[in-house]
Structure 1
Amino acid sequence: MEDFKLILDGLYKILYKNEKSTDIINEISKNVEDISYITKNIYGVLENKLYLEYILKKLSKIKLNKLDKNVKIILLIGLYNIHFLDRKNYAILNELVNLTKKVSFRSKSFVNAILRSFIRDEENLAKINIKNDDEYRSIKYSMPLWIIKYLNDSYGKAYTDKFLKSLNKERNLSIRINKTKTDKENLKKLLKDCGYILEDSKISDSSLIIKNPKGLAKTEEFENGLFTIQSEGSIKVCEILNPGKNSNILDMCAAPGTKTSFLAELCENSSKIIANDISFNKLSKINENIDRLGLKNIEITNFDASILKEEYKEKFDYILCDLPCSGLGVIDRKPEIRYNRTMEDVKNLSKLQKNILDRAFLYLKPGGRLVFSTCTIGNIENKDNFTYLSKKKRLKNIKINEKEYIEYNSFDDETDGFFITKFEKI
């Protein structure tokens, strides 16, 4: 039952306290040797939440919003185990009933009855009886209807279908080589000697794909700063900015510092970098990255990037605007995002991005270069703001692979959804 208690507490914090799934899993891993079952349950419930709630509505006479929050989560855990993990034995059911006694004693019979009913009639209860195509997909893939409609409008239904089908597939982990300390061939040899299976990235020259990443962050090579765990799309952002040596660089929204550190590596520690983030609590993470990787000439600042700093006008040769966004491009890694975002958030974030881009334009020297990127998908935060930048008379688009901008997605590129575009001030 201890595992189920950790799963319950973790899901409660994610769903009702707005905590991040990755942080919860990392915290649990400090005290539990094998967290594979716990991880599978936390992510499994999040990835299938709307579908599990759909089933629960068929079984419960009480409206879901009237249920005790802990009891509802216990039921979702039970339904997930029965339907997706094929754990139909009554020992599991009894464990969940005993857990219910601890959080809401009077609900124990209710939980017992619901889960037993599902075991008896799983095949029928698991069917989705919805005729509307978008509503059906919303339940099947546990994706809020507004996101499906938004992606349909931005890219069409074929794209949306591929995106939805790719969500729960296991994705490869990628790392970035720290070329100030090693090179690709040497790192490949070291990691192969540790038993890791590697592939070259198709997206980034500075990246390797690790097929069996268990224990990677505990290796001597990681501790010594020979590589950083980072998605290929994120690595590509810095490669596209491609800052020169002995230059002034501004990373407008830098936390947790993964891209900042790569900018320093690309310049071989020769450039002056200002790494800024509005969140003071995230600044320590930037310092951790800098120290582990052995990087220099990085100043960490803490200001609101949407507010003008007069002293920064035309000061920088390169500016990275990897901006706050809805994060729809990383839903497969952070499934809770789909439940704590709204279309209003997307519109507000797009406005914030415009404000920050306006400031970046003023901070850029003539001849200076700017990269605007997000880890989201959908036109409002991406293509619309590319168009906004394109209308500035002193900005010239620099094509990437013969395109005005590039977009990565999880199903074609097997990396995070990323939007990247580059401009030069004239």
Structure 2
Amino acid sequence: MSKNIRALAARCLYAVVDQGRSLNDELPKQQLLVDSPKDKGLLQELCYGVLRYLPELELQVRRFVNKPLTGKQRVFHFLMIVGIYQIKYTRIPDHAAVAETVAATAILKNKHLKGLVNAVLRSYQREPELDETLPDAVKYNHPGWFIKKIQAGYPDSWQQILEQNQQRPPMWLRVNQSKKSVTDYLTLLSEQEIEVVQVAPLSQAILLASPVDVQKLPGFSDGWVSVQDGAAQMAAPLLQAQANDNVLDCCAAPGGKTCHILELTPNLGSMTAIDIEAQRLVRVEENLARLGLQANVIAADAVNTEQWFNGQHFDRILLDAPCSGTGVIRKNPDIKWLRRASDIDSLVVLQQQILKSIWALLKPGGTMIYATCSILPEENTEQVKRFVENNADAHLEDLAIVDNCKDWQILPGENSMDGFYYAKLTKKAVH
């Protein structure tokens, strides 16, 4: 098969938007068909870029297509969107963008649509902008239901949140402090001329000036460093695991937080990492192996604990609950198009079920960190408030390292971090 990057991008986008597949699953499949790193990078840029600006790009296609494409022809709808994205948002010369996109019609086995694709792209070149007032969904490139939720939760900052979601994510590093000090690793980065913007004071996370290939990071394959967002790197310091603690990381895949806890407290009593998807635990095992760490990794349902719990209660539990992912849209723009308003209610119920079942595994006097990568209040502050009200032995603690606040909602882009939520619960002995 010819490796026309635009054809591969159109196929990938069709699978994500029309068939509801995850970009993290679909993009690697298409990248396997490409040899050069440069072409892999272009394919990623086209897919991510289109998903960031989808409503705006679809509106442009609708201007020039009288009859919407349906059925097997839908992939050509996405091909035209890929073409317009290149013209509007990339440095690819217009003539090359048009020629390569039109050429993709042959690869996608429908030369009859060559004329349509060519006409739409040339029409857009002649008349790129609209004068009309755009609806919010197009103006902000987010689904209408999501905009309404953000407006309700953050009436003073909703536009800023939506704008941050459209940004490219920065690259944060986590130094494996059981192998290298942060100071030493900063020296190694400097020697490689990899520029650092800041080191987060609480977590020692390192923010790079621009992303680099992980293989260019000193000692990556030797487990000296990992890639993990600055917000996610707050979980382990907040958990404050101690020597000999029995620790559970619930919903652990892909294992970044599991590894971070082990790095910070190498003399733990034991670490158990569970996730309901066995396939996702492969990544946990890979990360542990690369970093030279050990944990008891179990494919397990957090709600049905009787299937796997061995009766040894935990001193500390990190519950990174299944959530809407609305805090990590910068690096997963497909979330905007895969999520539905009805999903949120289902997730809130699932979070309640997991909280209830996992809380029973915590020792009296033990600590649980409840975390999500969501920014929706119903998954976060409202969820924790309800849990504390309904459980006499649950106490919401101050997050001592964060200005004595009871819980912490990080918004996308805040200190260059992803959107994330943390609350610290301790279990009181009830007499």
TM-score (structure 1 length as normaliser): 0.92
- The whole-number CA distance in structure 2 between the counterparts of 1:380 and 1:224 is 41
- Equivalent residue in structure 2 for 1:129, among 117, 128, 133: 133
Cα–Cα, structure 1 residues 24 and 197, in superposed 2: closer, same or farther, change >3 Å?
A: farther
1:98 maps to 103
- The whole-number CA distance in structure 2 between the counterparts of 1:312 and 1:422 is 25
Letter in 2 for 1:122: P
- The whole-number CA distance in structure 1 between the counterparts of 2:179 and 2:23 is 32
1:284 aligns with 2:282: yes
Output one character per residue of 1:379-400: Cα deviation in whole Å (capped at 9) or x when no partner. 1111221112221110111111
SS in 2 for 1:98: helix
**Considering only aligned residues, what root-mean-square deviation do their CA atoms show, in Å?**
2.1
Give, in angstroms, the shift of residue 9 of structure 1.
3.0
2:6 maps to 4
1:306 aligns with 2:311: no
1:332 aligns with 2:330: yes
SS in 2 for 1:4: helix
Letter in 1 for 2:101: L
2:57 maps to 52
Give, in angstroms, the shift of residue 146 of structure 1.
0.3
Indicate if the aligned counterparts of 1:314 and 1:364 stay in contact, CA closer than 8 A. Answer: no
Cα–Cα, structure 1 residues 222 and 51, in superposed 2: closer, same or farther, change >3 Å?
A: same
- Equivalent residue in structure 2 for 1:73, among 59, 74, 78: 78
SS in 1 for 2:219: helix
Give, in angstroms, the shift of residue 193 of structure 1.
1.1
Letter in 2 for 1:147: F
Letter in 1 for 2:149: Y
Indicate if the aligned counterparts of 1:225 and 1:294 stay in contact, CA closer than 8 A. Answer: yes
2:340 maps to 342
Indicate if the aligned counterparts of 1:347 and 1:381 stay in contact, CA closer than 8 A. Answer: no
SS in 2 for 1:206: coil
- Equivalent residue in structure 2 for 1:33, among 28, 34, 37: 37
Aligned length: 417
- Equivalent residue in structure 1 for 2:115, among 93, 109, 120: 109
Indicate if the aligned counterparts of 1:7 and 1:38 stay in contact, CA closer than 8 A. Answer: yes
Indicate if the aligned counterparts of 1:269 and 1:295 stay in contact, CA closer than 8 A. Answer: no
1:168 aligns with 2:162: no
Indicate if the aligned counterparts of 1:203 and 1:233 stay in contact, CA closer than 8 A. Answer: no
Where does 1:24-423 land on structure 2 (aligned, <5 Å)?
A: 24-26=26-28, 28=31, 31-34=35-38, 35-63=40-68, 68-85=73-90, 89-103=94-108, 104-123=110-129, 126-130=130-134, 136-156=135-155, 158-202=156-200, 204-296=202-294, 298-309=295-306, 311=309, 315-391=313-389, 392-400=391-399, 401=402, 402-423=404-425
- The whole-number CA distance in structure 2 between the counterparts of 1:107 and 1:306 is 51
Give, in angstroms, the shift of residue 89 of structure 1.
3.6
Unaligned runs of 5+ in 1: 131-135
Give, in angstroms, the shift of residue 64 of structure 1.
5.2
Cα–Cα, structure 1 residues 394 and 152, in superposed 2: closer, same or farther, change >3 Å?
A: same
Give, in angstroms, the shift of residue 87 of structure 1.
5.4
Give, in angstroms, the shift of residue 45 of structure 1.
0.8
Bigger mean CA deviation after superposition, 82-91 or 341-350: 82-91
- The whole-number CA distance in structure 2 between the counterparts of 1:4 and 1:289 is 33
- The whole-number CA distance in structure 1 between the counterparts of 2:86 and 2:35 is 23
Give, in angstroms, the shift of residue 222 of structure 1.
0.8
Cα–Cα, structure 1 residues 403 and 91, in superposed 2: closer, same or farther, change >3 Å?
A: closer
Output one character per residue of 1:97-153: Cα deviation in whole Å (capped at 9) or x when no partner. 221133222222221222222222223xx34433xxxxx231022100000001111
- The whole-number CA distance in structure 2 between the counterparts of 1:127 and 1:32 is 41
Cα–Cα, structure 1 residues 120 and 199, in superposed 2: closer, same or farther, change >3 Å?
A: closer
Bigger mean CA deviation after superposition, 320-329 or 100-109: 100-109
- The whole-number CA distance in structure 2 between the counterparts of 1:84 and 1:212 is 19
Output one character per residue of 1:273-311: Cα deviation in whole Å (capped at 9) or x when no partner. 110010011111111111111113x10111110113285
